Amino acid sequence: MSTRVGVLGATGAVGQRLIQLLVPHPEFEIAALTASSSSAGRTYRDAAKWRVDTPIPDDVADITVVGTDPDEVPDDVDLLFSSLPSDVGASVEPAFVEEGYVVSSNSSNGRMDDDVPLTIPEINADHLDLIEVQRDNRGWDGALLKNPNCSTITMVPTLAALDEFGLERVHVSTLQAVSGAGYSGVTSMEIIDNVIPHIGGEADKMETESRKLLGSFDGAGIELHGADVSASCNRVPTLDGHLENVWADLADDPDPAAVAEAFRSYPSIDLHSSPEQLIEVFEEFDRPQPRLDRNLGGGMAVSAGGIETTSNGIQYNCLAHNTMRGAAGASILNGELLLEEGYL
Amino acid sequence: MSTRVGVLGATGAVGQRLIQLLVPHPEFEIAALTASSSSAGRTYRDAAKWRVDTPIPDDVADITVVGTDPDEVPDDVDLLFSSLPSDVGASVEPAFVEEGYVVSSNSSNGRMDDDVPLTIPEINADHLDLIEVQRDNRGWDGALLKNPNCSTITMVPTLAALDEFGLERVHVSTLQAVSGAGYSGVTSMEIIDNVIPHIGGEADKMETESRKLLGSFDGAGIELHGADVSASCNRVPTLDGHLENVWADLADDPDPAAVAEAFRSYPSIDLHSSPEQLIEVFEEFDRPQPRLDRNLGGGMAVSAGGIETTSNGIQYNCLAHNTMRGAAGASILNGELLLEEGYL
Amino acid sequence: MSTRVGVLGATGAVGQRLIQLLVPHPEFEIAALTASSSSAGRTYRDAAKWRVDTPIPDDVADITVVGTDPDEVPDDVDLLFSSLPSDVGASVEPAFVEEGYVVSSNSSNGRMDDDVPLTIPEINADHLDLIEVQRDNRGWDGALLKNPNCSTITMVPTLAALDEFGLERVHVSTLQAVSGAGYSGVTSMEIIDNVIPHIGGEADKMETESRKLLGSFDGAGIELHGADVSASCNRVPTLDGHLENVWADLADDPDPAAVAEAFRSYPSIDLHSSPEQLIEVFEEFDRPQPRLDRNLGGGMAVSAGGIETTSNGIQYNCLAHNTMRGAAGASILNGELLLEEGYL
Amino acid sequence: MSTRVGVLGATGAVGQRLIQLLVPHPEFEIAALTASSSSAGRTYRDAAKWRVDTPIPDDVADITVVGTDPDEVPDDVDLLFSSLPSDVGASVEPAFVEEGYVVSSNSSNGRMDDDVPLTIPEINADHLDLIEVQRDNRGWDGALLKNPNCSTITMVPTLAALDEFGLERVHVSTLQAVSGAGYSGVTSMEIIDNVIPHIGGEADKMETESRKLLGSFDGAGIELHGADVSASCNRVPTLDGHLENVWADLADDPDPAAVAEAFRSYPSIDLHSSPEQLIEVFEEFDRPQPRLDRNLGGGMAVSAGGIETTSNGIQYNCLAHNTMRGAAGASILNGELLLEEGYL
């Protein structure tokens, strides 16, 4: 039987992607869509300016949007996907969890909180146990689970695969697609024939979230990974797909073939949205490229290429689809993990 | 009186920029234009598909293009600017110098040769003395001087300014404009909604040329600077202006204000094409941007911004106009230095 | 002595262009800048996010912005340039004119009003006499003068030149730059790798405004030109410069050379911002192109090319810089005409 | 049993699309791939730089490419798809047909020849009977069938649907994607932040081919449709999908609803690659858009929108995927028609 799910913040760009992924999902069934009060009471068709490249099915389009408030969401909804603005999420998500809902959230608020698990299921599924600590701390019945920022997700699978070589220091430069800023986040006058060498708060997220994701759960909390991570984030004129140049200083001295093998053999996980091959490796030096490779594994694979040794380790490039693997797909995969692990 | 100059490879993209800069130049006068044999004998108007955004003056357009051969260039031409393909340059440039011509070359061949000076006048004008070594070695009357690759030039002024803090290691990620590949180098189908994370040979050039530029001339040759430089080069959908994310590990521990001051106070040089302020520093974190800032100082300034401390030094962004400061303007500035220093 | 001028709506994209053009203007001197109440009281530097590619002079940047209200603008300001949103302009512009100000407005409100002159000085300067009718009708001391929409301006000079051949019917398809929608008008997600085949209200403006511009003033009002104009408007991924494909059905049967001659010989006007050559004609079939040709005549020339005969007349392409000739420059040129004709 | 087919000019952009469509095709089986002599003898994997976004199956990649010569193609190949450069096609295609091959060609050579059918199966399948005339004239056993140019195909289905209202005159302005010029046809420096208002020969093709497609076969030849067609062709920075602004002068006076109904009810044809709905009609004025709508009907549908009445008829926009419906898919659909009609 399907799990009844809701989407908090259903009209935005990530909300639309969530719905696009949920409609054909074998385990989940859309039962509630919320938005700000100005949209509440209208049909979804009417409230959202649908911009995804597959049509909305009529039965979803006809759902009446409700306010983003625990009182307005039916009690028989078990799991909520949240793509709220972080300031809204900060106050509303706890309210839902307090009422017993399980929330899989893409919003950036609270990701680094000590008792909030931040997971990529293929990387650190065991961090889910932090939910018990969360429930103890906060007296909650539900649970709040976060996925990381899109630029963090792109890089972390490769870093996890490198950890066997002794990951010590990371420099990463990002070339991020405009969709990462939401539908209206980057104007055309800002980005045509241009690059913007700064994305507010993004470098910080990459530096802290990656250490939490690669950290270890000791029963009481997450011990951050010791790697020193430094990021520089750029917005470029691509629609989808974040490309990243990574340098990893390593304790060991693997050659490019060993690194490629570590990437290729890094295990995926047996969940519906996880790709068979988590990290695809290209031999061509000019790949991966955003437009050509962002849809690998249904948009849920990470790809890498250009692996070369440096004086202290290796350098390489990696790529992921920022609104699939990096946002909507990440939340849904976390939802699948919550279901699998019995939290629903 | 003007120095009579010629352009080797005058019909290409850099050749056109050279002509655009030479036409109003107070010290130089165009006296010869060369191209491949298929263009020789035609007027320049006819041989070149002019794509620069200022019109060619009629007197230049009416010059008859000659072959790229010392026998075809008038003897009273004193200085040649070369923007030949590197394989052509490798054989043709020495032939001209042997005949006594002084060549200021943008072509990549021979840049790392032991007896060929590679200069950015504001940075290492003293390397010009290597010409005496060159003449001794090769029995030449003329001289061959090189400017570095566009992506190298963008970064090196800032590295030179940082050297007072003990420059130890550099990571640099580039976001390079399509004009760097020449007029037809990047097709629209390759780059619209895309990024290409590799430019053949570019990372190598940045890693070796920057160490030569920052090195010291000891009377016999150039001792390379000891910094460890690692580059990752990307092509992005911008027309002009290379943006670079730089991390510099330093022996000292300057704060961002000290770094900004070091950038701003790095001296320019008293040559016609050198800007008054060599490195402009932005306080705004989202600057410099290629489209907004590439024309600073007439396209000959370098700009920097986003300066932040890291655990081992600093990170920042820098930008220069790749076909002005990074190519045609670089060769002309070197020509001005040759004139100033009495090599003509 | 300079005329003291103000800018209504000074912080927007057209407002910034107006200031850029006014700063070096020999006849005008900036004496007041207005904006919405949220900006009033702040310095211009602070109130506007300056995005023009030349810096604001300090003395302009230090002006304190006032509200868009006749009571807040000094009395000794003689001429106001208006780039207000049309709904604001509709109520505010009359309030200023009632107080005796002369307003040269780029806002779309009121352009087709019977007693409001709509002018391109090189085309229909004589329509200025309609101001007397306006003053009689409305009991105003000041005057309200409009310039047309950017897409209309691009085409009308060529249509005016064709009128000697008996202009009967016009089909025009536009390829308009994103700057025409203001800084945030077109998001990057809408327009990268895309075209939007509709711009709200634009086709209508072209169809009605062009007939008014080409019409004749009979002492009491403007008799619209009889041509049947049909437009189709598209937004394309260019930054500046509207390109238009035009078909003109004509009573006569001129060959392309006669049309080119009519374009080239169409007279300019002796005002500061008017280019020497109003319509530049290209012989190359692939010109004019927005990026290459939008800055002709300092952005104030119109260019044309691709002239061919059809079964009923001719077809050709034309281009103008939409925020210069098509907006800010148009208003300033109208201001120069008002000054020249003694309305200030 | 599958029909064994070959692709002439298999390494180019359209050749790759042909292979992408043929691999999963239920009726056709790839049995021969040809290219220029420099590629002959190499595997397809090696000879083609594969740029399509689905991988080549190994068995196709391993095919040894042969020269484009009847002697090198196996006799048991029944149908050849041709995407040769037109100058090559002009000499090579007749040589193949003379040897008895049936050729479905996308190349522009010979499209307007009196005895060469030019077809869009949904529009003028009956023109196939011209093959008998062709065989009589030329003494051929095989057959040569052409599909029209991509920009013609985009518009003609809508014109065919309008013919019931008395189609008299057409003005059409195109906004064409860069892929229409082949992989290297448009450089990035030509088209970023730009539009090119001319495509060599394109307007001519639209004006003549459309009249042949809409013409009638009288047993001996095609009588061209009497409509007067005038085209203006522009290249814009989109990857795929040609958008066209059309004005159709009509004898009758249908309202937009009647036109929309005529579009929607225009019949498709029962062939594998033909979409269920040939012409999709949008009610939204800002649709169709290239990036959002080019893949409708698997890239084989045409879409229309923005229908409005004019003084002499109607205006509207239409869109089709230029390398699918406009090139590779068009040739394959013609191949399906040849099979269905017993020419193989």
Give the nearest chain A residue to B247 (CA atoms).
A171
Q: Which CATH class is domain A3-149+327-340?
A: alpha beta
Backbone angles phi, psi at B188, to 5 degrees: -65, -35
% of chain B surpassing 70 pLDDT = 100
Q: Kindly state the tokens that stand for C89.
A: 């302009």
Interface residue of D208, D245, D310 to substitute, partner C, most C CBs within 10 Å: D245
Q: What is the pLDDT of residue B75?
A: 92
Cα B315 from chain centre: 24
Kindly tell me the burial class for residue A136, based on how many C-beta atoms sit within 10 Å of its own C-beta (0-12, 13-18, 19 or more).
exposed
Residues in D closer than 8 angstroms to C193, CB to CB, are 237-239, 290-291
Q: What is the pLDDT of residue C59?
A: 87
- Nearest-5° angle of CA B159, CA B160, CA B165? 80
DSSP C117-180: -B--HHHHGGGGGHHHHHHHHHT-SSEEEE---HHHHHHHHHHHHHGGG-EEEEEEEEEE-GGG
Q: What is the mean pLDDT of residues C228-251?
A: 98
Question: Is residue D52's pLDDT more than 90?
Answer: no
Q: What is the pLDDT of residue D314?
A: 98
Q: Do B53 and C295 touch (CB under 8 A)?
A: yes
Q: What is the pLDDT of residue D177?
A: 98
- D199-255 pLDDT tens trace: 999 999 999 999 999 999 999 999 999 999 999 999 999 999 999 999 999 999 999
Q: Kindly state the tokens that stand for C218.
A: 């009979």
Cα A206 from chain centre: 12
The answer to whether residues C78 and C102 touch, using CB atoms and an 8 Å cutoff, is: yes
Backbone angles phi, psi at B289, to 5 degrees: -120, 140
Is there a catalytic annotation at residue B242? yes
Instruction: Measure the CA–CA gap between C179 and C185, rounded to whole angstroms.
Output: 8
Are B3-149+327-340 and B150-322 equal in CATH topology? no
Q: Kindly state the tokens that stand for C304.
A: 């044309």
Question: Is residue D53's pLDDT more than 80?
Answer: no
pLDDT band, residue C50 (cuts 50/70/90): confident
Q: Do A179 and C189 touch (CB under 8 A)?
A: yes
Give the nearest chain B residue to A199 (CA atoms).
B286
Angstroms from D185 CA to nearest CA on chain B:
8
Helix (H) or strand (E) holding B338: helix B329-340
Q: Kindly state the tokens that stand for D173.
A: 């302005």
- Minimum mean pLDDT range among C93-107, D49-63, D71-85: D49-63
Q: Write the CB contacts of B286 (distance below 8 Å, at least 6 apart in sequence).
A: A196, A197, A198, B305, B306
- C16-40 pLDDT tens trace: 999 999 999 999 999 999 999 999 9
Q: Is D292 on the interface with A (CB under 8 A)?
A: yes
Question: Is residue C52's pLDDT more than 90?
Answer: no
Q: Of C127, C150, C225, C318, which one is the catalytic site residue?
A: C150
Q: Is D243 on the interface with C (CB under 8 A)?
A: yes
Q: Of C127, C225, C233, C242, which one is the catalytic site residue?
A: C242
Angstroms from B169 CA to nearest CA on chain A:
10
Among C338, C296, C336, smallest CA distance to C319 is for C296
Please name the member of D285, D290, D311 whose beta carbon is closest to the beta carbon of C198. Answer: D285
Q: Is B52 on the interface with C (CB under 8 A)?
A: no
- C95-127 pLDDT tens trace: 999 999 999 999 999 999 999 999 999 999 999
List beta partners, residue D330: none
Q: Write the CB contacts of D81 (distance below 8 Å, at least 6 apart in sequence).
A: D5, D6, D7, D8, D18, D22, D103, D104, D105, D106, D328, D331, D332, D335
CA dist A341 → A121, A126, D65 (Å)? 11, 10, 53
Instruction: Measure the CA–CA gap between D96 and D79, rounded to whole angstroms.
Output: 10
Please name the member of A183, A186, A192 whose beta carbon is closest to the beta carbon of C178. Answer: A192
Interface residue of C155, C173, C206 to substitute, partner D, most D CBs within 10 Å: C173
Q: List chain A pLDDT tens, one digit each, 344 residues.
A: 699 999 999 999 899 999 999 999 999 999 999 999 999 999 999 999 888 878 888 889 999 999 999 999 999 999 999 999 999 999 999 999 999 999 999 999 999 999 999 999 999 999 999 999 999 999 999 999 999 999 999 999 999 999 999 999 999 999 999 999 998 999 999 999 999 999 999 999 999 999 999 999 999 999 999 999 999 999 999 999 999 999 999 999 999 999 999 999 999 999 999 999 999 999 999 999 999 999 999 999 999 999 999 999 999 999 999 999 999 999 999 999 999 999 99
Q: Do A243 and B292 touch (CB under 8 A)?
A: no
The structure's pTM equals: 0.96
pLDDT band, residue C49 (cuts 50/70/90): confident
Angstroms from D189 CA to nearest CA on chain B:
6
Cα dihedral C287/C290/C295/C299 (nearest 10) = 110
For the domain spanning D150-322, the CATH number is 3.30.360.10
Q: What is the pLDDT of residue D170?
A: 98
- C192-230 pLDDT tens trace: 999 999 999 999 999 999 999 999 999 999 999 999 999
Average pLDDT for chain B: 96
Q: Kindly state the tokens that stand for A23.
A: 């409609």
Helix (H) or strand (E) holding B331: helix B329-340
Angstroms from A283 CA to nearest CA on chain D:
15
Provide the 8-state DSSP code for B121.
Answer: H
pLDDT band, residue B96 (cuts 50/70/90): very high
Residues in C closer than 8 angstroms to A237, CB to CB, are 188, 192
Q: What is the pLDDT of residue B53?
A: 75
Angstroms from B285 CA to nearest CA on chain D:
25
Q: Which CATH class is domain C150-321?
A: alpha beta
Helix (H) or strand (E) holding C97: helix C86-98
Instruction: Measure the CA–CA gap between C135 and C14, rounded to whole angstroms.
Output: 28
Residues in B closer than 8 angstroms to A306, CB to CB, are 197-198, 232
Q: Is A194 on the interface with B (CB under 8 A)?
A: yes
Q: Do D53 and A295 touch (CB under 8 A)?
A: yes
Q: Do B189 and D51 touch (CB under 8 A)?
A: yes
The answer to whether residues A276 and A330 touch, using CB atoms and an 8 Å cutoff, is: no
Instruction: Measure the CA–CA gap between B24 and B19, rounded to whole angstroms.
Output: 9
Cα B228 from chain centre: 22
Q: Please give the span between the terminal C-alpha atoms of chain C, in angstroms, as a whole number.
A: 13
Q: Do D184 and B184 touch (CB under 8 A)?
A: yes
Q: What is the pLDDT of residue B57?
A: 82
Q: What is the mean pLDDT of residues B295-312?
A: 97
The answer to whether residues C130 and C181 touch, using CB atoms and an 8 Å cutoff, is: no
- B222-256 pLDDT tens trace: 999 999 999 999 999 999 999 999 999 999 999 99
Please name the member of B187, B193, B238 whose beta carbon is closest to the beta carbon of D187. Answer: B187
Q: What is the pLDDT of residue B195?
A: 98
Among A183, D154, B84, D254, smallest CA distance to C186 is for A183
Determine how many CB atoms are found less than 10 A away from the CB of residue A122: 22
Tally of CA atoms within 13 A in the half-sphere of B250 that contains its CB: 25
Residue with tokens 């912005």: C65
Please name the member of A187, A193, A237 whose beta carbon is closest to the beta carbon of C187. Answer: A187
Burial of A147-185, coded b for 16+ CB within 10 Å and e otherwise, reads bbbbbbbbbbbbbbbbeebebebbbbbbbbbbbbbbbeb
The answer to whether residues A143 and A116 touch, using CB atoms and an 8 Å cutoff, is: no
Kindly tell me the burial class for residue C272, based on how many C-beta atoms sit within 10 Å of its own C-beta (0-12, 13-18, 19 or more).
middle
Size of interface B-C (CB pairs under 8 A): 10
Provide the 8-state DSSP code for D211.
Answer: H
List beta partners, residue D102: D79, D143
Give the nearest chain B residue to A236 (CA atoms).
B236
Residue with tokens 């448009």: D186
CA dist B19 → B57, B240, B263 (Å)? 10, 18, 31
Cα C78 from chain centre: 21
Size of interface B-D (CB pairs under 8 A): 52
Is there a catalytic annotation at residue D242? yes
Q: Please give the span between the terminal C-alpha atoms of chain D, in angstroms, as a whole number.
A: 13
- C157-171 pLDDT tens trace: 999 999 999 999 999
Residue with tokens 């006799």: D75
Q: Is D58 on the interface with B (CB under 8 A)?
A: no
In CATH terms, D3-148+327-340 corresponds, of 3.40.50.2000, 3.30.70.890, 3.40.30.10, 3.40.50.720, to 3.40.50.720
Q: What is the pLDDT of residue B58?
A: 86
Interface residue of C16, C51, C188, C238 to substitute, partner A, most A CBs within 10 Å: C188
Q: Is A51 on the interface with C (CB under 8 A)?
A: yes
Q: Is D193 on the interface with C (CB under 8 A)?
A: yes
In chain D, domain spans: 3-148+327-340, 150-322
Neighbours of chain B (3+ CB pairs under 8 A): A, C, D
Q: What is the pLDDT of residue D258?
A: 98
Q: Do D195 and C247 touch (CB under 8 A)?
A: no
Among B191, B112, B140, B155, smallest CA distance to B279 is for B155
Q: Do B287 and A197 touch (CB under 8 A)?
A: yes
Give the nearest chain C residue to A239 (CA atoms).
C189
Q: Do A193 and C239 touch (CB under 8 A)?
A: yes
Q: What is the pLDDT of residue B129?
A: 97
Q: What is the pLDDT of residue A215?
A: 98
- Per the document, the length of chain D is 344
Question: Is residue D50's pLDDT more than 90?
Answer: no
Helix and strand element counts for chain D (H, E): 12, 14
Residues in A closer than 8 angstroms to C178, CB to CB, are 188-189, 192
Tally of CA atoms within 13 A in the half-sphere of B144 that contains its CB: 31
